[in-house]
Amino acid sequence: MWSSKDVYYISDSTGILVTNLGQALLCQFPEINFHEEKFPYVRTREDAEKTLAYILKQSLSRRPLIFSTIMDTEVRNIFKSPEVEFFDAFESLLEPLESCLEAKALRVPGFSRHSDDVTMARRVEAIHYCLDHDDGIKVNESDEADVILLGVSRSGKTPVSVYLATQMGLKSANFPLTTEYLTNYRLPDGIIRNKKRAIGLTTSPELLHNVREKRYPDSKYAKLANCITELEQAEEIFKRNQIPIVSSAGKSIEEIATQVSQELGLTKKPGNLRK
């Protein structure tokens, strides 16, 4: 078994798709260390030849892994070297799909990412909204939100909120439950009137303690007992207001965001964001 492997993600567009696909597969092999690099916008033979030369030089004949989503057959074939392990997503998936559908694919690089200006405009709008309504800012303007994330400090609200905006095109606001709200078991009016779009984020006391301890060592804020109390108070607030709870403990940001959108019955399609 290999103890480590070099991995390269090659794309004729941004490389986001091939990187996500490759990493989703490689995470199934936690005992192996992977050294990863990404090469986006590889669109000509010259680009491909330079990229392959770099890869072979870096990898020192250790048969690196190459994941590709290059559409152009001529450019793609350059990477089919006996010195590498080549995995082509489109060749293995797109050609059988063409056969199944009895139709030819467009084979245009990154087509879905620039084909819908309306979708892109809505995503940009969602990002701006997220930034303008982070950490309790403008809580009285929560009426426009698709998602409102609630939780104690360091429970993961901001990164999940950003992911919901940038990757799912959802207008996401987040609100921190500070001592003022926790001890009185209450929420501001802007949240109460929109609680059908609210999700309570929680985590384990131990994880919360570790995160806070790194930022504020030996503080009351970071003490395990305080973390336990705050999480219990927050969950009581969620229960009193019938707000669904999602735990961030042991989950990636993507997993949390997906669960949040499922709890609220949202999809990535802009037309279905608000009902």
Query: Which token pair is 13?
Result: 């567009």
Q: Provide the pLDDT for residue 63.
A: 93
pLDDT tens for 113-151 read 444 556 778 888 999 999 999 999 999 889 999 999 999
CB 113 within 8 Å of CB 201: no
Give me the amino acid identity at 130. C
Cβ atoms of residues 57 and 8 within 8 Å:
no
- Tokens read off for 21: 């696909």
Give the sign of the dihedral formed by CA 89, CA 94, CA 95, CA 100. positive
Tens digits of per-residue pLDDT, 56-88? 999 987 899 999 999 898 999 999 999 999 999
Structure tokens at 253: 């940001």
Exposed, middle or buried, 102 (CB in 10 Å: 0-12/13-18/19+)?
Answer: exposed
Is residue 67 within 8 Å of 7, Cβ to Cβ? yes
Order of strands across the sheet that contains 33-39? 33-39, 4-10, 65-68, 85-88
pLDDT band at 111 (very low <50, low <70, confident <90, very high): low
Residue 267 pLDDT > 70, yes or no?
Answer: no
DSSP 5-24: EEEEEE-SS-SHHHHHHHHH
What would the mean pLDDT of 218-244 be, rounded to a whole number?
A: 98
**E-strand stretches of 79-180:** 85-88, 147-151, 172-176
How would you write 63-79 as a 3-class SS string? Answer: CCEEEECCCCHHHHHCC
Query: Cα-Cα-Cα-Cα dihedral of 107, 113, 116, 121, to 10°?
Result: -170
Nearest to 178 by CA among 232, 230, 219: 230
Q: What is the pLDDT of residue 173?
A: 96
Report the C-alpha gap between 9 and 138 in whole angstroms: 41
Band of pLDDT at residue 20, cut at 50, 70 and 90:
confident
Amino acid symbol at 86: F
Query: How far is it, in rounded angstroms, from Cα 187 to Cα 238?
Result: 10
Domains of the chain: 4-111 (3.40.50), 117-272 (3.40.50)
Q: What does the pLDDT read at residue 112?
A: 52
